[in-house]
Chain A
Amino acid sequence: MSMIKTEFWKLKRYHIIWAGVLLMLLSVLLTLFSTTALDGTVWTFSFFAEQVMKNNITTIFPMCITLIAGYIINREETDDTLKSILTIPVSFRVLLCGKLIACALLSLLFGVTSVAFTVAASWLAGFPGASLPSVVQITAQITLNCLFLYIAVMPVIAIAARIQNGHLIGTVVAFVYGYGGMFAAGNMALANLYPVTASMGLIGYRSYDVSVHWNLLHCIFSMLAALLITSIIVLTAKNSAPKKTVKKGKKIIAKKGW
């Protein structure tokens, strides 16, 4: 418990959190721009929120949370605080678990942020149909979707945590992985099993559409598989940080979507 609590204390004045908030804003702004490009579409609040979700899923969120979780995990190394934690003693494994759980909560918070931006943008753009029930439904959908997406990318985060400076590579992998959701969505059977798209199934994304039929069992299985893989990676983690490589001057990977 104190592991998770202290993780949140460490976030105070932590700038990388604002990068996450900006990315969530960006997702909404991207959607807002697309409303001007598409003709013939009737934009309602619910439809707009759906498009935000789609952008969250395929473009922004997997990369965003991997980046932030990566920084949160990597910082013990860069701030040189790991030695003080390991000598308490708190094992690297327990530390990693605490961080992953804290990031799950953080995902929910980013979800709420996304909801706030979505509602504000929709109101500013004057889209109709923002009734209380629809806002409540969207809030639940976007927020939970962020959590499920987080679970979907957790294996990537956990693997990246075991590689020195792996969080930047992890971010790129997560982006590709999220973008892959676009293709997985084309095939319903695949969409149910691909963790990124399974996160949509779990919140009943477009379930009113006749061509969309989610198999909840498959979606849950997909999430559990992601969790299982993550726990295996965490449990087999050695009780120390990834080996320091002397190589310096790492490449700055172009941050997509900034």
Chain B
Amino acid sequence: MREVVIKTSNLTKQYGQQKSVADLNIHVQKGRIYGLLGRNGAGKTTTMKMLLGLTQPTSGKVSVWGKPLSGNEKELLPRIGSLIESPGFYPNLTGTENLRIFAELRGLTNRNAIKNALDLVGLPYRDKKLFSQYSLGMKQRLAIALAVMHDPELLILDEPINGLDPIGIAEVRAFIRALCDERDKTILISSHILSEIALLADDIGIIDQGVLLEEESLAELEARSRKYIRFVVSDAEQAARILENSFREKQITVQGRRELWVNHMETPVAKMVSAFVAHGLEVSEAATVEESLEEYFKRVTGGEGIA
């Protein structure tokens, strides 16, 4: 097991009667990308705010690099870069001027830090355009530049691809991947878009109504999603009996009058088909079906799905 960078224990945030985050235990490992996946209002932003000390947890603890966050902010926060919700900058200043303010406040001595960060997200250095005149995607890029400007070891990015065009999304994905692979950064990223997380994350935490439903590596999740064979035959009930008697197949689901799902994969498909035909059944379809991640998530979040 790798070093755990972010660990929460029973982290809870309650607003009035409603628990936005409830007993959350997440583990973000060093040098990996952790995708926090959840629908709108699931509690992703609230969780990240607590990880940064922007809101105090109602109960529970956050520890970063093995130290409790509360009380060690001065030591821990400078090593973290973050982007929370929408990008916030001074509208009367240009992108470069905005970054210069934060560079000064952070005491950055590297003169190229601002330029490098802007290059990384594809924004021009010393452009005349004011932040108020930026497009949504440009604002988002500037916010990413701010998050990475001081070369932090840990990045906490709340929906970083919001508002970006497809090419921008691919660019951001590539550079987040590169930060992780080439420079051993640890990255926590949230999204409500499953396909995005599936493309980028190494580990996935699924959060729904403030509760962590599952925390697993992507590889493990993919292995877990089921494979089955789907038959369409003239009489599904009779076909099920045939499979039970001749092949001792137990995991059979009859779907309606004509459809049949077989989970166990030991019997070759061709043998099952010839058995059906020998008993006078018509077989109009036989196919191996793999449950997509999406269907899997639909199942664990209780039907409604994500994205």
A residues near B, CB below 8 A? 2-3, 5-6, 9-10, 12-15, 75, 79-90, 240
Contact = CB atoms under 8 A, between A and B. Distances in A.
A88 B93 contact: no
Given A14-B92, A89-B53, A3 B105 contact: yes
A81 B74 CA distance: 19
Contacts of B86: 80
Contact of A85 (B91, B100, B105): B105
B1 to A, nearest CB: 28
Interface residues of B, number: 29
Contacts of A13: 92-93, 130
Closest 8 CB pairs of A and B: A80-B88, A13-B92, A89-B77, A81-B88, A6-B101, A2-B104, A89-B73, A87-B52
Nearest to A3: B105
A79 B104 contact: no
B105 A87 contact: no
A20 to B, nearest CB: 15
A21 B223 CA distance: 68
B256 interface: no
A87 B97 contact: no
Interface in B104-122: 104-107
Interface in B49-71: 52-54
5 contacts: A2-B104, A6-B101, A10-B92, A81-B90, A82-B88
Contacts of A2: 104-105, 107
B109 to A, nearest CB: 12
B124 interface: no
A139 to B, nearest CB: 30
A86 B54 CA distance: 7
A88 B84 contact: no
Given A9-B97, A10-B101, A12-B97, A87 B88 contact: no
A3 B104 CA distance: 8
Contacts of B146: 84
A86 B56 CA distance: 13
Contact of B91 (A79, A84, A89): A79
A83 B84 contact: yes
Interface in B78-103: 78, 80, 82, 84-93, 97, 100-102
B141 to A, nearest CB: 15
Contacts of B92: 10, 12-15
Contacts of A9: 93, 97, 100-101, 104
A2 B91 CA distance: 20
A225 to B, nearest CB: 32
B80 A87 contact: yes
Nearest to B106: A88
Contacts of B53: 86-87, 89
B105 A6 contact: yes
B88 A12 contact: no
A3 B105 CA distance: 7
Nearest to B55: A240
Given A88-B78, A89-B77, A79 B88 contact: yes
Given A89-B77, A90-B105, A83 B88 contact: yes
B89 A81 contact: yes
Contact of A12 (B54, B82, B93): B93
B105 A88 contact: yes
B82 A79 contact: no
Nearest to B98: A81
Contacts of B106: 88
Given A2-B104, A2-B105, A84-B146, A10 B90 contact: yes
Most B Cβ at <10 Å: residue of A9, A86, A87, A89: A87
